[in-house]
Amino acid sequence: MSMLRALSLGSLAALIAASAWSATITVPGDQPTIQAAVSAAAPGDTIQVAAGTYVENVTVDRALVLLGAQANVTPVDSGRAGGESTIQGTLTIAANEVTVNGFEVAPSGVGIDWPANAANRSGLTLTSNYVHSGTSMAGVYLLSPSTVSGVIGAANVTISDNLISVGAPGSLSMAAVLVGGGASGTAIYDGLVVTDNELSSPGGGFGLGGFLAAWAINAPVITGNTVSNTGYGIWLQGLASAVIEENVFDHTGAYALAIDADGASVKNNTFQNCYPTESDGSASWGLVLLGGAFGGSCSDIDVRDNDFRYNNNANASRPESGALVMSGCDAGSIVFRNNNFIDGGQATGAVALSSEAVGVVDAENNWWGSAEGPSDPVGTIEVPTSPEPAAADMVNAEPAGSLGGAVSEGVDYYPWLGSLALHGEGSVLAWDKDTMKFYLCDDPSNPETGIELVSGQSYTVAGETLVCTITGVNGDRQVVVTNAEPGSTPNALRVRWYKLGSALYRAYEWSTVGGTTKTAVYQRGQTYFYDTQTWENGFWGLAHTITDGPDWDVDYSAVKQP
């Protein structure tokens, strides 16, 4: 046989093998049920499931891609247009390298089960699925107890863009996503990514199947999730080099985020309405650094650019507080920076930041709810003062009645921010036409979720200090936001709203460092520069990004308002 012929036959065989490897099986076209399709498939095949209800428990025992009718479509409670591929039962993933995309799963027990049936599990991708049940103990259960004991390895697990809501109020639901450790309760996770999900459960949002010291979750990425209506939000231990950013915790019971970690970035998260239903006299918290309380450790934690909106419920059974550093944490390696601690003032006993750890937590340059700083009645040297005293000597008790949230001993809180910090590189300047109020916010369709601008007050945006002036009443109002950094040339952003009859008009005017004044008119997402300051036929907001540097450079884009 010639070498050329051998190569040709080899190439043909490879093509045939590749073709067989990538076969697609349809349900119910090629096979009547999902399980029948799995049984007929070869590893690497794709199973395409049409919209419909499939009453079956499905076990996937080979590497496959399962695509529902809503693959890559973000799930919503009301259902997605075009119908769902609904599995009424449990979907068990018993093999490695499996993708499940675009299904509705309505179980009576666990929704999607990834059991510890091998010493090393890897390659699970769950995306765009809607998992819900009033009786389920877990929406997704990773490494549930199975046939293998000892240490279980789990690698490359991605859970993204899912809506997982399990357990009725008062049920024994454990968590929307449960991180297990096999039969022995010991696991090592590498490459765990949980992003852009909506998680809710009377038990917890995302937590461990037990509080175990022999737990390792290396370099997890937990970003962009909304965790709401849970007994606790996220409870994870054994973290290392964790990224926990841009999550929203809302109505999350006693703890919104509780972790022990050796290295973590906790950044740009929102903590609000973190209060429990039970009553045992202790506090509830937005963030808890667990330290050695459950056999772990906590060090090298960077808590930055978060919003702690606490003490907003007068009926909370326990004081609703901001953040807690527990005993056993390495206080000297924990930093809180550029966070907002906003006390709703609904109950006594609430605390912005408390530390039980030995040593001092660095909590300089945060907003404590007042330009006068936080409340700290214990110490010997009143701040602000120069030189800065040691944290143990600081006291901040004046002026009485004008201080922000309370801090404990062991917290270095001075210097503090003199104005509320706006996080990220951009914000939207919005006007609520019903209340006639101005806001800086992330979501212009809901301006009241942002920060209401108060005339004469200063704000910190991306490191810049801005002063706001509001004039006018009713239908004729104007806001001017001015750069007020010491030593800089003030540059103003002026926005004017007014009414003529039922028509709304808006104009934007800003000055540059060179003194040039420009006026912008926005229409259908485009920017036009005119000499006139009138604009109608729509209602748009102004998104602006303030970059670093003395010039206060501003980028503009239009954002529609209701």
Residues in CB range of 453: below 8 A, 6 or more apart: 437, 438, 439, 440, 459, 468, 470, 479, 481
Count of beta carbons in the 10 Å neighbourhood of residue 244 = 27
Helix, strand or coil, per DSSP, at residue 512:
coil
- For residues 179 and 203, the answer to whether their CB atoms sit within 8 Å is no
- Total count of residues recorded for the chain: 562
pLDDT the model gives residue 147: 83
Q: How many CB atoms lie within 10 A of CB 144?
A: 21
State the pLDDT at residue 436: 60
Handedness of CA 147, 152, 154, 159 (dihedral sign): positive
Which is nearest to 283 in space by CA: 258, 247, 263?
258
> The pTM is what?
0.78
- Residue 489: per-residue pLDDT: 40
- H or E, element range at 3: helix 3-21
At residue 284, the pLDDT reads 87
For 406-434, b where at least 16 C-beta lie within 10 A, e where not — what string? bbbebbbbbebbebbbbbeebbbbbbbbe
Number of Cβ atoms within 10 Å of the Cβ of 557: 16
Convert 538-555 into a string of H (helix), E (strand) and C (coil).
Answer: CCEEEEEEECCCCCCCEE
Question: Mean pLDDT by 10-residue block, N- to C-terminus, for the chain (562 residues)?
Answer: 40 45 91 98 97 97 98 92 95 98 94 93 97 88 86 94 85 80 82 96 84 75 94 92 95 90 95 71 84 82 94 77 95 95 88 96 94 92 90 91 94 88 53 62 60 68 57 50 43 40 39 40 30 29 31 29 26
Nearest to 383 by CA among 361, 414, 354, 408: 414
Distance CA 91, CA 43 (A): 18
CA distance 98 to 94: 9
Q: 25 with 44: CB under 8 angstroms? A: no
- Kindly list the distances between the CA atom of residue 231 and the CA atoms of 22, 217, 254, 282, 483, in Å, as whole numbers in the listed order: 43, 22, 7, 15, 43
Structure-derived torsion over alpha carbons of residues 283, 289, 291, 294, reported in degrees to the nearest 10: 60
What are the residues whose beta carbons fall under 8 Å from the beta carbon of 14, sequence distance 6 or more?
none
Contact 323, 389 (CB under 8 A): no
Tell me which of 2.60.40, 3.40.50, 3.30.1460, 2.160.20 is the CATH number of domain 19-412: 2.160.20
Q: In the chain, list all ranges with CATH 2.160.20.
A: 19-412
**Amino acid code (one letter) for 311:** N
Helix (H, G, I), strand (E, B) or coil at 487: coil
Dig out the tokens for 206 from the structure.
């995302």
Question: Helix or strand or coil: residue 447?
Answer: helix
Residue 133: beta bridge partners? 166
**What burial class does residue 183 get, using C-beta atoms within 10 Å of its C-beta: 0-12 exposed, 13-18 middle, 19+ buried?**
middle
pLDDT at 433: 52
Cβ atoms of residues 411 and 360 within 8 Å: yes
Residues 6 or more apart whose CB falls under 8 angstroms from that of 386 comprise none
CA atoms within a 13 Å half-sphere pointing along the CA-CB vector of 397 = 9
